[in-house]
Chains A and B, each alone.
Chain A
Amino acid sequence: MEWQTAVDFALSLAREHRESDVDVLLNRSESLAIKVLNHRVEKVDQSTAQGLGVRVVKDGRTGIAYTERLEPPAIEKAFLAARENAELPDPTEVVMNRALPEVPDPATLELFNPALDALTVDDLARFGLEAEAAAFAADARVKAVPYTVVKRENGRYLVASTHGMRYSQHSNSVGAYCSAMLDSGTQRKSGTYAWASRAWDATQGAALGREAAGRGAALLGARSIPGGRLPVVLDEYVAPDLLSMYLGNFSAEAAQKGMSRLRGRLGEPIADAAIALTDDPHRVGAPGSRYLDAEGVATQPLPLIEGGVFRNFLYHVESARKDGRESTGHAGRGYSGGISTRTHSVVMPTGTHDLDALCAIPERCLLVTELEGGAGCNPVSGDISIGVQGYLIEGGRRMQPVDSVTIAGNFFDLLRNIRAVGDRYQPNLTNRFIPALLVEGLVLSG
C-alpha cells in the first residue's frame, strides 16, 4: 500500500469505529551505504524502512500501536491494538490538538536536496576509497583503517489526525565516517572524523581520511597529567556533545516528575550572565527543524537561557496542561513510541575568540578534543565524570597530547563557570549549535 494511502486508511478506521481522537504518524526512510576495508568496497547496504504508528486518546488515556507492514490487515490490527491499549492506562491531561495553525511550506526549511538521491554506489564507493587511501597516505603509522562508511539517506515524515491536521516533511543528507588506527610501536591511537552534509562534494573523501589520520597522529605520545582543578577548553565538536546529555533538564515533563534540577527555578540565574541558549525550530537546513511538532502544535523559537537567566521549559500538550499553559511545540514522537519532549535546534550564540585564542586566555589549560563515552554523566543529577583526550596548553602553546584523564564536575556548575565562547560552530549538519567553551571549575583526575 502506498504510504500516504496507508495513513488515510488508518484514519478511515478511526471514523468507522467512531474514535474521535486519533492521530497517525508515518516514517519512511531509504538509505544506501557502503563500507570500505583494505582498498575495496566490502559491504553495500540498501534499505527501505517504514513504520506507521497509531495513537488513540480516550478520556485522557493513551493507547499506542504500530506496524511496519503497510497493508490493510496489519494497519487494522495496529488500530485495534491501540484502541485496546487505551483502556488500561491512568487518565492524564493529554488531549488532541483541535486548533489548526496556518503552516508555512516545509520546503522553505530547505531540508531536501534532490541531487543526493541520485548518488550511486559508485559515487559513494569512490568517496570511501579516497578517504581510506588518504588516511593510509597521511601517516606511515596508520596501521589499519577499520571503519570507513559513506551513506546517503532520505526520510519522510507524515503526521495526520482525525481533527484534520496533516503535516509532512521530506529531508535527506549524505555523510561519511572514517576511523584510522595508528601505532607508534609503543602506543595505539584511533583518529576519527565524520562529515555530514546536504550538499555532495566528492573532494571531501580525501579530506576526511587525512583529517581522521591527522587527529590520531596528533594524539600519539599522549600521556596522563597530574590531577587537580584546571581550566578546560571543550572544542566545538566536544562542547555540543557534552551539553546535549543534560538538555533533558529543560523538559517541563521531567521537572513535573522530579527528574530535573531546574524545577522551581524559572527566572533564576543558572548560567554566566553572558550566556544565552535558544531552541530554534525554524533554522534553515537544520535536520531538527519543523513548523509543526508531533502533536500538530505550531513551533516557535523559545529562549531557554537569556543573560544567564533560566527563561522557559519545553512543553508538549500534556505537560503544558498540567502547568496551566500552552504547549511550546516541543512534542516528539517516532512511529513506535509515545509522545516525548524534544528540542529542535539548540543554539548558543558564538563569541569572538577562535580556538587558539580561547586556549590562550588561561595560563594553563586542557584542550579537550575527544570524549570517551558518557556513561559517567548523569543527565538527571547533572554529574559529569568522563574520560577525555586532548592537549595540555601552556601560554597558548600545545605542550603535549593527553590521555588517561577524566574530568568531573556538574553541568549546572559548568553553566555558571563558562568564561568565554568560541567564534564558530562545527561545520557538519547538526541540531546543536554550540561553539567551543572555556570552562573553569572542572576537576581533572590523572
Chain B
Amino acid sequence: MLSDSSVRKVLELGLSRGADFAEVFAEDSEVSGIDLLDRKVEDISSGNSFGVGVRLLFGDEAYYGYSSDAAEEQLLKLTENLARAHAEGAPGSLSVFRVESVLDRHPVRVAPDNVPKRERVELLRHLDELTRQQGEAIRQVGASVMEKHRSVLIANSEGLWVEDSRQYARLRLAAIAEKGDGPQTATESPGVLGGYEFFQGLDAERITSEAAQAALRMAGAGYIDGGTMPVVLGNGFGGVIFHEACGHPLETEAIRKNASPFAGKVGEAVAQPILTAIDDGTLANRWGSLNVDDEGQPAQRTVLIENGILKGYLSDRIGARQVGVARTGSARRESYRFAPVSRMRNTYIDRGPHTVEDMIASVDYGLYARKMGGGSVDPATGEFNFAVQEGYVIRKGKIAEPVRGATLIGKGFEVLPLISMIGNDLELAAGMCGASSGWVPTTVGQPTLKIDRILVGGR
C-alpha cells in the first residue's frame, strides 16, 4: 500500500519535530452493496476508499491528519503541518521496523470475488418472497447485502509494521406490516467478519419469519401504560442496553475524561454476583472481532465485570497511558479519516442459571421486551433511552398482549445492580456503533435477563 521508505520518512519527520510517538495508518477498502425494495433491485453500487492517516503524539497531546492523496510529498507536507501546529520539542529517533505477522482467526472460506453478483440478487428476491409469504398484511420488504474488504497497514515509530485484511459481510432485512393504523417495521441484520459463505449458510426461513412475524404482531399491537415496572429483556440485541449504558462508560476514552460513573471503581461491586460481562475481540468470524486493533495490537478477550465486581476497562494507547492501565487491543476507527480510540468489539453479558419461563413467571405485571431497537446514552451521567421493537405485557406470570412504542429509560450504573435473574440462552447480534472514531462493527449480546424495575415510557 505504501513503501517502507515513505512510511519511514513520515515517521522520522514527526520524531524530528519533537513528537514522542508517530504512527501511519493506511487503508485501501472495497465496498459493494445491492439494495432491493418494493420487489425491485434499484441500485447496485461499489466503491473504493483509500487514504492515509498520520498521528503524532506529544505527551498527552494528539495531532491527527489524513489525506486520500498518498504521494510521499503530500504525506510529508501533512506531517509537517501537523508538527507545525505544535511547539517544537526534542527530536526522537525511529526504531527499526519489525514486521509483525498476523494470526488470522477469521478465515474467509468463499472469496466474494468468486461469486457472481447475480447470485446475491437471487438471494434478495428469495428473501423478499419468503417474507411476503408470512402474511397478507406484509406490505413492503426491503433487503440488502453489504460486503466490504479492508486492507490496513499500521506502522509506528516504535518499529511496529502490521498489515491486516478484514472481510465483512452483512444482510439487512426489513419487513413492514400494516393493519389499518400505520405501518410497523421489524428488522433483522446479521453480519460476520468473513466471506460469502455467510450468505450461503443463511437460514432464510428463520430470518424472514422472525422479521415478518414481529412486524405482524406489532402492527396489531396497542400501547403499554407507562410507569416503573419489572422488565424481562430478551436475548441477543437486548444487549444493546449494556453496550450503551455500561460499555461506553467502561472505555478509557470516557474514564480518562472523568466522564464516567465507573471511573475509580475497579474492584468494587457494580452488579449482583450473578452478572459477568465480557468484551471479546477474538471470537472466530464474529462481526465485532479483529485480528489486530487499529493501533496494531492483537485483539484480546477482556473481562469487564466478573461475578458483579468491576474488573477493568477497554483501552487504547492514549487511554492506557492516561488512566494507567494496560492496552486491551480495543483501539478502533471507522477508517483512515479517524484517529483511533478505545471501542467495544463483541460485548456481552455471560449466561446465567435461569430460564425465560422462570423470569416471566416471577413478574406479576411488567414488560417482556423481546427485541430491542436502538438507543442512546450520555456517558457522563449514564442516562440512557432505548426503544422496544417488539414488546409484550406480562400479567400474572404469563406473556399477554403485544405492545408497541415503548421505551426504556434509566441510568446504566443504577440499572446494573437491578439485574436479578440471568438466563441460559446467550445470543449475540451484529450492530454498528457510532462514537468519536466513527462507525465500527460491534456485536452486542446477552441471555434473556430480568431487571427488577425500570421506567417504561408508553402512553
Choose among B85, B376, B458 the residue that contacts A445 (Cβ–Cβ < 8 A). B458
Contact B409 A50 (CB under 8 A): no
B457 in the interface (beta carbon within 8 A): yes
Contact A47 B65 (CB under 8 A): yes
Asked whether A188 and B381 contact (CB < 8 A) given A227-B227, A404-B455, the answer is: yes
Asked whether A387 and B42 contact (CB < 8 A) given A40-B61, A46-B78, A259-B140, the answer is: no
Q: A234: shortest Cβ distance to chain B, in Å?
A: 16
Asked whether A181 and B457 contact (CB < 8 A) given A46-B65, A77-B48, the answer is: no
Query: Is chain B's interface secondary structure helix, strand, loop, or mixed overall?
Result: strand
Q: B63: shortest Cβ distance to chain A, in Å?
A: 5
Contact A47 B183 (CB under 8 A): no
CB-defined contacts of A387 to chain B, threshold 8 Å: 383, 385, 407, 409, 457
CA separation between A406 and B291, bound complex, in Å?
A: 42
B339 in the interface (beta carbon within 8 A): yes
| Central interface residue in B43, B64, B139, by most chain A CB within 10 Å | B43
Contact B383 A259 (CB under 8 A): no
Interface size on B, residues (CB 8 A): 77
Asked whether A41 and B405 contact (CB < 8 A) given A258-B140, A259-B140, A446-B455, the answer is: no
Chain B, range 33-72, C-beta contacts under 8 Å to A: 34, 37-38, 40-51, 60-69
Asked whether A189 and B381 contact (CB < 8 A) given A143-B258, A381-B183, the answer is: yes
B353 in the interface (beta carbon within 8 A): no
Contact B407 A383 (CB under 8 A): no
Contact B457 A408 (CB under 8 A): yes
Choose among B61, B62, B258 the residue that contacts A144 (Cβ–Cβ < 8 A). B258
Q: B24: shortest Cβ distance to chain A, in Å?
A: 15
Q: B254: shortest Cβ distance to chain A, in Å?
A: 8
CB-defined contacts of B374 to chain A, threshold 8 Å: 373, 375
Contact A404 B409 (CB under 8 A): yes
Chain B, range 163-184, C-beta contacts under 8 Å to A: 176, 178, 182-184
Chain A, range 363-390, C-beta contacts under 8 Å to B: 372-378, 380-383, 385-387
CA separation between A209 and B258, bound complex, in Å?
A: 18
CA separation between A420 and B189, bound complex, in Å?
A: 42
Chain B, range 108-143, C-beta contacts under 8 Å to A: 117-118, 121, 139-140
6 closest A-B pairs by beta carbon, nearest first, are A445-B226, A406-B457, A373-B376, A146-B259, A376-B407, A146-B257
**Which residues of A come within 8 Å of B, CB atoms?**
37, 40-51, 53, 62-70, 74, 77-78, 81-82, 85-86, 88-90, 92, 121, 143-144, 146-147, 179, 181, 188-190, 224, 227, 256-259, 261, 336-338, 372-378, 380-383, 385-387, 403-410, 443-446
CB-defined A-B contacts under 8 Å, sample of 14: A40-B61, A42-B62, A44-B62, A44-B64, A66-B46, A68-B51, A88-B34, A188-B381, A258-B183, A261-B183, A373-B376, A406-B458, A407-B457, A445-B455
**Which residues of B come within 8 Å of A, CB atoms?**
34, 37-38, 40-51, 60-69, 78, 81-82, 85-86, 117-118, 121, 139-140, 176, 178, 182-185, 223, 226-227, 254, 257-259, 261, 337, 339, 373-378, 380-388, 404-407, 409-410, 455-459
